[in-house]
Structure 1
Amino acid sequence: MTSISDRLFVALNVTLLFIITLLALFPLYYVFAVSFTDPTEFLRKGLVLFPTDWSLISYQYLLSNRSFLDATLVSGFLALVGTACSLVITSAGAYALSRKRLRGRRIMLLGILLTILFHPGMIPHYLLVRDLGLINSVWALILPVLTSGWYVLLMKGFFDSIPSELEEAAKIDGCTDVGIFFRIILPLSMAALAAFGLFYAVAYWNTFFSGVLYINDPDKRPLQVLLQIMLIDGSGVASGDFMNSIASEMTIPSETAKMAAVVIATVPILAVYPFLQKHFAKGAMIGSVKG
């Protein structure tokens, strides 16, 4: 039987956690509510917590704006193509390093470890991208971050847990190393691929600093750079004054458009996560305890 002090302690903990949860969820609710608020109601009230007139006009305006659509397409390209390329490179490199017969394996692992411990910094990074001719190219946001040494080591630990007898049996049946990788190893690694794919997709979708550093063409800016301009600077986007054009239309206050843009930028990752959740914990942990 629990004492009064224990029950009081549990009640205080529950109350505190409930308050913290409300404080964490309130900004999300406010963004969602304002984005669906009728523009005339927002202009009339200024602060809307419980909108009475719901409207999609801010979303319609954003989805009909060329600059916003271009930025969304760029971020979508980064998330899809970048994630696919990163998973191929990371999984292929990790699988090769997990095979003990690979010559120079220890030296390669040491090199990967050095990339984790020591980073050259922003200026050498920029000079490399410039010398490769990637400035103002969408590939400048993918190739320099195509893989991560830490992810390679984690996935290597996952591949180490796969019995080598499967590979030997496949070779007896005449399967090549490439065939073993694509037909046996990858199907057994869906949990790890789902976990690391989510990591990569979130990183690519949220690309910001690289977009500011390497992209000068307004039509090639990722969505997060556009959001920074909308939410902080309030300056023009692309060839026209995006925020000024919103503010000039009395039926579409800039605040509702900002909140709608935030919702659009957040929803894709939230929509993907439930489909990967069942693989996420297993894939993220299994490579970290093997090796």
Structure 2
Amino acid sequence: MQSAAKTASAPIRQTPGRRRKIHAADVVIHAILILLTLATLLPFYNVVLMSFSNTVAVSKQMVYLIPTVFDFSAYTYIIHEPRFLKALLVTIFVTGVGTAVNMLVTVTGSYVLSKTGFPGRKIVMGGIVFTMFFNGGLIPFYLTMKNFHLINNLFVMVLPVAVNTFYLIICIAFFRTLPVALEESAKIDGANDLQVLYKVVVPISMPMIATITLFYAVDRWNEWWYGVLFMTNVNLLPLQALLRELLTNYAQVLSSITTSVSVQNSDLQPEMLKMAVLVVSTLPIACLYPFLQKYFSKGVMIGSIKG
């Protein structure tokens, strides 16, 4: 009996025959995924290489996979633009404040509209959906912003886009999947609606909130249209609008900067400048992805499974 008990309690050693077999299908699938990943990263890699290339390498089409030369002329041209720092600060302000306003309005509004007992909910939802298909036009919109004294005001890139209808609907769908018992138990303990939202609902909704925050941050960082439309003061243009100006008015901007930089960049090709603009406009916001990756992988499945 003792020997049998010892045998039963002894750990079972895994024999070589019990190891997981590597099937040919797994190898093929992983190989395909690796090739797709490389095919996705190759254009970005090539953009970075071309932004650091020089005129000779671009004209001879020497930029493919291996860097032949590192030339910072395109980046020097962008950074030496007198309005570059101001435009960067404007974009940082619009991204930070705008994203905060976006999330405040979206989270609170979607939480209220997710309640079926909310009076007039269908009317409000109908008005929200209506804005996805119809708008008042550009001229009435401009006159409205002018009446609110938002011309040459940084908040013109924040308040008119305080909520995205599509993101709001996604948040409403997510809040409907949360267990009602959690809110009821919190209210039994004496919590009001705001406490329930920010102490119970928000912590368990972090995947959705992080995902929507990332979407809003990308939208605000890429904001340029409202800057061009409502900013007559060139010092208040956002970074994306300034970079667009560098591309569309290359000859005029090149003649307006200092003589030393003009001589240095006299042979700068538009293709090199275009790639440098892509890197400058994309890299800062791309740095947010690693910090939100753990939430983003869950948040992309919002609405697909009810649980």
**Aligned partners of 1:106, 1:244: CA distance in 2, in Å?**
63
Check conservation: 1:246, 1:253, Cα contact below 8 A: no
Corresponding residue for residue 247 of structure 2: 231
Kindly indicate whether residue 175 of structure 2 is the aligned counterpart of residue 153 of structure 1: no
Tell me the TM-score normalised to structure 2 length. Answer: 0.76
User: Which of 263, 266, 283 is residue 248 of structure 1 equivalent to?
Assistant: 263
**Aligned partners of 1:64, 1:171: CA distance in 2, in Å?**
58
Kindly indicate whether residue 180 of structure 2 is the aligned counterpart of residue 168 of structure 1: no
TM alignment of 1:259-278, pairs within 5 A: 259-278=275-294
| Structure 1 residue ranges, 4+ long, deviating more than 6 angstroms after superposition | 17-21
**Aligned partners of 1:122, 1:281: CA distance in 2, in Å?**
38
Which protein has the bigger helix share?
Answer: 1
Corresponding residue for residue 50 of structure 2: 34
Aligned residue identity for 2:126: L
TM alignment of 1:25-174, pairs within 5 A: 27-37=43-53, 42-47=54-59, 48-49=62-63, 50-56=66-72, 59=75, 62-63=78-79, 65-174=81-190
- Deviation digits for residues 137-190 of structure 1 (CA, Å, limit 9, x no counterpart): 111111111102222121011111111111111111111211111111111111
Check conservation: 2:105, 2:162, Cα contact below 8 A: yes
Q: Which has the larger radius of gyration?
A: 2
Kindly indicate whether residue 222 of structure 2 is the aligned counterpart of residue 206 of structure 1: yes
Aligned residue identity for 2:246: M
Kindly indicate whether residue 235 of structure 2 is the aligned counterpart of residue 219 of structure 1: yes
Aligned residue identity for 2:118: L
Check conservation: 2:105, 2:163, Cα contact below 8 A: yes
Tell me the TM-score normalised to structure 1 length. Answer: 0.80
Check conservation: 2:88, 2:238, Cα contact below 8 A: yes
TM superposition shift of 1:87: 0.7
TM superposition shift of 1:34: 3.3
Count of aligned positions: 274
**Aligned partners of 1:28, 1:284: CA distance in 2, in Å?**
23
How has the CA–CA distance of structure 1 residues 168 and 250 changed in structure 2, closer, same or farther, with 3 Å as cutoff? Answer: closer
Matched position secondary structure for 1:136? coil
Check conservation: 1:235, 1:243, Cα contact below 8 A: no
**Aligned partners of 2:245, 2:258: CA distance in 1, in Å?**
9
Check conservation: 1:157, 1:288, Cα contact below 8 A: no
How has the CA–CA distance of structure 1 residues 94 and 45 changed in structure 2, closer, same or farther, with 3 Å as cutoff? Answer: closer
What are structure 2's unaligned runs of at least 5 residues?
Answer: 1-27
What are structure 1's unaligned runs of at least 5 residues?
Answer: 1-9
Question: Bigger CA drift: 82-91 or 47-56?
Answer: 47-56
